Amino acid sequence: MTNGTRIDPEVREPRAIKIKTQKRKGKKIALIILSVLLVIAIGGGIFAFVNFGDYFEFDQFGKTAEKSDTDEEPSEPEVPQENVSEPETPEKPESLPEVPVVEDPIIEENPIPREEWFMVLVNAQNPLPEDYNIETVSVDAKGHLVDARIAEDLLAMIAAGESEGLDFVIHTAFRSYEKQKEFYEAGKTGAAPGTSEHNSGLAIDIGCARGEFEGSPEEAWLLEHAHEYGFILRYPADKVDITGFAYEPWHFRYVGKEQALLIKESGLCLEEYLAQ
Ligand SMILES: [Zn+2]
């Protein structure tokens, strides 16, 4: 049994040694495999880097890779930024100018300045308030008053006509609310206070010093040129039903040069024009 017991450790020892050597061999094999794998991995990585480098460069960078030959590494983030920004930059200058170009004509196409002082509509349905207040100035030797803002254009119109040998005279200009009330109550006018355009200071009754205005050269000249100075014939013969006034060839109304031209070209009276 002693032998057996002696043998056993002897037997076990070489077994253990064999096991150990087998383990060592296994470790060596594992190390070899690992090192081979490492070599393959490193070699494969180098191989892939060297061989597929051209492929990756072509695939990712495309044609732009040629431009960034000197800076290969920093070119990677720059190239996609350039590719994104390039289509954006031409879109901006194309899209931005298109908006105002399209909108401006629409806005300016029919800009009736309804709230402007020179576009105020005065008639029986639209009387001026009793406290309507304007600054007036005299425009002739008789002291006829008009809204101070139209005096320059009015005097320029009269001067232009007179330079062509015409002779204008102003019969009526501004009439105050109180004066209109006085005339109305005295039966001198059918227009109630505030309903006469003369209460606005924007209207004149004009004539010629030589006699009858209707059919005169002064009338013909005004029908041709009054709009150039901001005036329109306010009560045309073909608009009596709309204006409520009989034909008054002598009554001109200031609306500003721009609107006077538009109204003249439209063939509308002021009521129709503002009702657009
Ligand atoms: Zn008048």
| Domain co-membership, 44 together with 174 | no
Domain residues for the domain of 38 are 2-66
pTM of the model: 0.61
Q: Which two tokens stand for residue 120?
A: 């105020």
| Domain co-membership, 34 together with 133 | no
pLDDT at 161: 97
| Domain co-membership, 250 together with 128 | yes
| Domain co-membership, 62 together with 126 | no
Query: Among residues 78, 248, 271, 272, which one is catalytic?
Result: 248
173 CA from centroid of ligand 1 (Å): 8
List, for residues 223-268, the tens digit of each pLDDT value: 999 999 999 999 999 999 999 999 999 999 999 999 999 999 999 9
Is 248 catalytic? The answer is yes
pLDDT at 244: 92
List, for residues 184-216, the tens digit of each pLDDT value: 999 999 999 999 999 999 999 999 998 899 999
144 CA from centroid of ligand 1 (Å): 13
Q: What is the total count of domains within the chain? A: 2
Residues 235, 247 contacting (CB under 8 angstroms): yes
* Sign for the pseudo-dihedral over CA of 194, 196, 197, 203: negative
Bridge partners (DSSP) listed for residue 252 = 204, 233
Q: CA of 253: how far to CAs of 7, 198, 269, in Å?
A: 141, 9, 11
pLDDT grade, residue 44 (50/70/90)?
very low
User: Torsions phi, psi of 210, nearest 5?
Assistant: -85, -10
pLDDT grade, residue 28 (50/70/90)?
low
123: closest CA among 275, 271, 276, 246? 271
Q: Is residue 81 included in any domain, yes or no?
A: no
| Domain co-membership, 26 together with 160 | no
Q: Is residue 97 included in any domain, yes or no?
A: no
Q: Is residue 196 included in any domain, yes or no?
A: yes
| Domain co-membership, 44 together with 175 | no
Q: Is residue 169 included in any domain, yes or no?
A: yes
Q: Is residue 106 included in any domain, yes or no?
A: no
pLDDT at 35: 55
| Domain co-membership, 60 together with 123 | no
Q: CA 263, CA 211: separation in Å to the nearest integer?
A: 29
